[in-house]
Amino acid sequence: MIKFLNTLSGQKEEFIPIKNKKVGIFVCGPTVYDWPHIGHARTYVIFDVIVKYLRYKGYKVKFVMNITDIDDKIIDRAKEEKKTWKEVAEFYEKDFMKDIAELGINSVDKFARATEHTEQIIKQIKVLIEKGYAYQTEDGIYFDISKFDDYGKLSKRTVEQAEDAVSRIDESINKRNKGDFVLWRLSKEGEPAWDFETGITNSAGRPGWHIEDTAISEKYLGQQYEIHGGGQDLIFPHHEAEIAQAEAASGEKPFVKYWLHSGFLTINGQKMSKSLKNFITIKDILKGYLPEAVRFMILSTHYRSPIDYKEDLIKQSEAGIQRVLELVNKLELIKKSGPEEKKVEIDEIIKNVQMEFNAKMDDDFNTPEAVAALFNFIRIVNSFIDNQNLDRKSAEKAIGVLKEIDEVFGILPKKESGIPEKIFELVQNREKLRKEKAWLEADKVRDEVKSLGYSIEDTPYGPLVKKS
């Protein structure tokens, strides 16, 4: 039984999909106007792992993510860069896709751009106007929060606070209530605009930020679905507004059954963000560390707690993933050339790590404790290996369970990013020379391997290569 904290109720709840084992999940995607940083990576890695875990448990998950490709920030960036808004959005979207692919975030079924869903957006706004929830002003169409009794049920508030995403707050003197938010913003001269046939003059405009998500999710996941995720900063006003729009338009409650929010990645205690200019881009961190180390760093903290980033953290994470890799490499050697005779019983130990992994993940996706269970398993298997007690079949089973867990975590370095093929070739060559008793040449190859930053450990089962 999976349980996790639902922001809507503030309680840990048992996860029961609306229908059978089908799960619809929507996670707010990026606004594509700048390079993504490791704060973004935190949120997207967490939801990648949650989706992979649900799939591992047999749920049929449909994972949708929007791309905000029209927004004031994009328009401003286009002015700065002397480009069109479309050029800016396309450029940074491509960059985002590349970064998340490198980080192994590959569980999303559908990326949906706002500008490709203006038809659905307009349709939803029209329903809100017809039902009396939306009104027109000189500068746009707004949602009247006083008409929606449940406004505030997610965040337990209805007014903005100083720390909210200020740039998103819809300021207008024409609003009925201070907290009303924009659904459709009329474009100024020279700004991108889509036609909106509401009967008002000069209705060419663009969607507000919140409506794109509900229009897109209605198209791909229906009027009601299971999980909506995002970082904590999105609870208010963004997710609160989504609930108001969707429930007012469809009349169905709840719009989303479970709301999941990830904590911030901070630096010196402050949220990593573009506006504070305290960010490290994904691209920059990947220059020095493996993508799996970034994932490991993120998974080592519970998804709701803050991670205060320090270089030491990523260094420790890199060491952690190298330990997993080292064990898998040793096990591969034993699988090929280890003893046939069974001396230890590994089945029980494998069952234990699987049980622990499931128990920890079932309990509010407790990745740090699931990681601890994995490392306990690694310690036990290493002690078998050190005592030369592990046989071929057991090694194969151990590899199996490590790979099974890694389907969810994605922390095991891919061979090509771990140890380059050239190093393996040199090691094979050294083995050949050793068999021919050409000791001097074999030592020279070992030195060459060392000069390239790797070491060779000769184990009873053959040579083991490590990053030195």
- Provide the mask over 1-30, with x wherever binding to ligand AMP is found by CB under 6 A and - wherever it is not: ---------------------------x-x
Among 107-115, 182-190, 225-233, 415-423, the segment contacting ligand AMP (CB under 6 A): 225-233
Verify cis geometry, omega within 30 degrees of 0, for the bond prior to 413. no
Is residue 115 a contact residue for ligand AMP (CB under 6 A)? no
Q: What are the structure tokens assigned to 364, written together?
A: 């509010």
Q: What are the structure tokens assigned to 303, written together?
A: 């998804």
Select from 273, 301, 317, 329 the one that contacts ligand AMP (CB under 6 A): 273
> Toward ligand AMP, which CB reaches closer, 271 or 360?
271
Select from 6, 7, 43, 124 the one that contacts ligand AMP (CB under 6 A): 43
> Toward ligand AMP, which CB reaches closer, 234 or 370?
234
- Provide the mask over 226-255, with x wherever binding to ligand AMP is found by CB under 6 A and - wherever it is not: ----xx-xx---------------------
Alpha-carbon span 152 to 413, nearest angstrom: 44
> Toward ligand AMP, which CB reaches closer, 284 or 436?
284
Instruction: Kindly report the number of other CB atoms within 10 A of residue 64's CB atom.
Output: 21
Report how far apart the first and last C-alpha atoms of the chain are (Å, whole number).
43
* Residue 273 Cβ vs ligand AMP, minimum distance, rounded to whole Å: 6
Cβ-closest position to ligand AMP: 231
Q: What are the structure tokens assigned to 405, written together?
A: 């867990």
Among 98-106, 268-276, 327-335, 407-415, the segment contacting ligand AMP (CB under 6 A): 268-276
Select from 271, 295, 360, 430 the one that contacts ligand AMP (CB under 6 A): 271
User: Position 387: which residue type?
Assistant: N
> Toward ligand AMP, which CB reaches closer, 303 or 357?
303
* Residue 255 Cβ vs ligand AMP, minimum distance, rounded to whole Å: 18
> Toward ligand AMP, which CB reaches closer, 233 or 391?
233
Which among 123, 143, 399, 109 is positioned nearest to 225, based on CA atoms? 109
Is residue 42 a contact residue for ligand AMP (CB under 6 A)? yes
* Residue 263 Cβ vs ligand AMP, minimum distance, rounded to whole Å: 7
CA R_g for the chain: 26
Whether the CB-CB separation of 19 and 227 falls below 8 Å is answered with no
Which among 68, 103, 28 is positioned nearest to 282, based on CA atoms? 103
Which among 172, 211, 206, 212 is positioned nearest to 191, based on CA atoms? 206
Q: What is the dihedral of CA 251, 5, 109, 294, to 10 degrees?
A: 150
Residue list 126-155, contact with ligand AMP (CB under 6 A): none
* Residue 167 Cβ vs ligand AMP, minimum distance, rounded to whole Å: 10
Is residue 210 a contact residue for ligand AMP (CB under 6 A)? no
> Toward ligand AMP, which CB reaches closer, 29 or 418?
29
Which among 419, 383, 416, 378 is positioned nearest to 399, based on CA atoms? 378
Alpha-carbon span 466 to 432, nearest angstrom: 19
* Residue 309 Cβ vs ligand AMP, minimum distance, rounded to whole Å: 9
* Residue 32 Cβ vs ligand AMP, minimum distance, rounded to whole Å: 8
Among 245-253, 266-274, 290-298, 321-329, the segment contacting ligand AMP (CB under 6 A): 266-274
Is residue 299 a contact residue for ligand AMP (CB under 6 A)? no
Alpha-carbon span 84 to 93, nearest angstrom: 14
Select from 258, 264, 303, 461 the one that contacts ligand AMP (CB under 6 A): 264
Among 262-270, 281-289, 331-339, 429-437, the segment contacting ligand AMP (CB under 6 A): 262-270
> Toward ligand AMP, which CB reaches closer, 117 or 330?
117
* Residue 271 Cβ vs ligand AMP, minimum distance, rounded to whole Å: 5
Is residue 39 a contact residue for ligand AMP (CB under 6 A)? yes
Among 80-88, 200-208, 271-279, 412-420, the segment contacting ligand AMP (CB under 6 A): 271-279
SS3 58: coil
What are the residues facing 358 on neighbouring strands?
none
> Toward ligand AMP, which CB reaches closer, 273 or 317?
273
The torsion angles phi and psi of 266, rounded to 5 degrees, stand at -115, 170
What are the residues facing 143 on neighbouring strands?
134, 181
Q: Given 3-state DSSP classes, what are the helix, strand and coil percentages for the chain, each rounded to the nearest 5? A: 50, 20, 35
Select from 74, 186, 272, 361 the one that contacts ligand AMP (CB under 6 A): 272
> Toward ligand AMP, which CB reaches closer, 40 or 257?
40
* Residue 298 Cβ vs ligand AMP, minimum distance, rounded to whole Å: 9
The torsion angles phi and psi of 361, rounded to 5 degrees, stand at -70, -35
Please return the burial class of 367, using the count of CB atoms within 10 Å of its CB with bins 0-12, 13-18 and 19+: buried
Angle among Cα 35, 212, 408 to the nearest 5 degrees reads 60
Whether the CB-CB separation of 85 and 91 falls below 8 Å is answered with no
Alpha-carbon span 181 to 440, nearest angstrom: 76
Alpha-carbon span 264 to 278, nearest angstrom: 13
**Residues engaged in binding ligand AMP (CB under 6 A):** 28, 30-31, 39-40, 42-43, 230-231, 233-234, 262, 264-265, 271-273
